[in-house]
């Protein structure tokens, strides 16, 4: 087993983080059995070690925490090392694992994204994404008729239109897909 410096482990973790997120997204709904939060774990722990390393490179806890970080990279560390050794210069940009917007969950009121009596909202954070829309705990389907159980979504303009105005206290969920 090779011994890596703290800076090398940080670089391996940056690439492993990207690979982990990519694998989960590629494998679909449940990530193909991969740890769905591994990318986030690698980011948080790496960032903490990186900040400590910058502020105090002689901190005695850095060795053990970076060894832990390297162990977390295990499913992807060899591929990350190969990428690092491929050379070509450049730098590694950190990848934030949660590029997918967070779902919206709310009970309709006057201050929610779709207010009481409303039927339209622009959701810029979902622009370019398809959505799954649930109303009253029932997943809806997108149609073009005026049945009050349906909605229209335009991923280009990020405008959501629901048929039937929102009622006070009605539960709604909007999830990127």
Cβ(54)–Cβ(46) under 8 Å? no
Q: Which residues contact 155 (CB under 8 A, 6 or more apart)?
A: 126, 127, 128, 129, 130, 131
Q: Which residue's entry shows tokens 């391996």?
A: 12
Q: Positive or negative CA dihedral for 80, 85, 86, 88? A: positive
pLDDT in tens, 51-72: 888 888 888 888 889 889 998 8
Q: Which residues contact 12 (CB under 8 A, 6 or more apart)?
A: 4, 70, 73, 77, 80, 81, 84
Q: How many residues does the chain have?
A: 177
Q: Positive or negative CA dihedral for 14, 90, 101, 141? A: negative
Where exactly are the structural domains of the chain? 6-85, 104-176
pLDDT in tens, 113-157: 999 999 999 999 888 888 888 888 887 776 655 554 578 888 888
Q: Model pTM?
A: 0.47
């Amino acid at each position: 087993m090779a011994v890596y410096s703290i800076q090398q482990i940080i670089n391996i973790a940056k690439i492993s983080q990207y690979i982990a997120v990519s694998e989960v997204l590629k494998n679909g709904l449940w990530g193909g059995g991969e740890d769905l939060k591994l990318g986030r774990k690698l980011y948080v722990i790496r960032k903490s070690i990186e900040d400590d390393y910058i502020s105090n490179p002689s901190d005695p806890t850095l060795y053990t925490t970076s060894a832990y970080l390297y162990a977390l990279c295990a499913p992807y560390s060899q591929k990350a090392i190969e990428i690092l050794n491929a050379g070509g210069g450049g730098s590694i940009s950190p990848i934030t694992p949660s590029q997918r917007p967070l779902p919206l969950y709310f009970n309709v009121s006057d201050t929610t994204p779709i207010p009481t009596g409303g039927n339209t909202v622009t959701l810029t954070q979902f622009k370019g994404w398809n959505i799954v829309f649930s109303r009253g705990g029932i997943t809806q389907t997108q149609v073009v008729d005026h049945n009050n159980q349906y909605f229209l979504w335009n991923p280009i303009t990020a405008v959501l239109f629901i048929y039937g105005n929102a009622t006070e206290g009605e539960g709604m969920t909007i999830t990127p897909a």
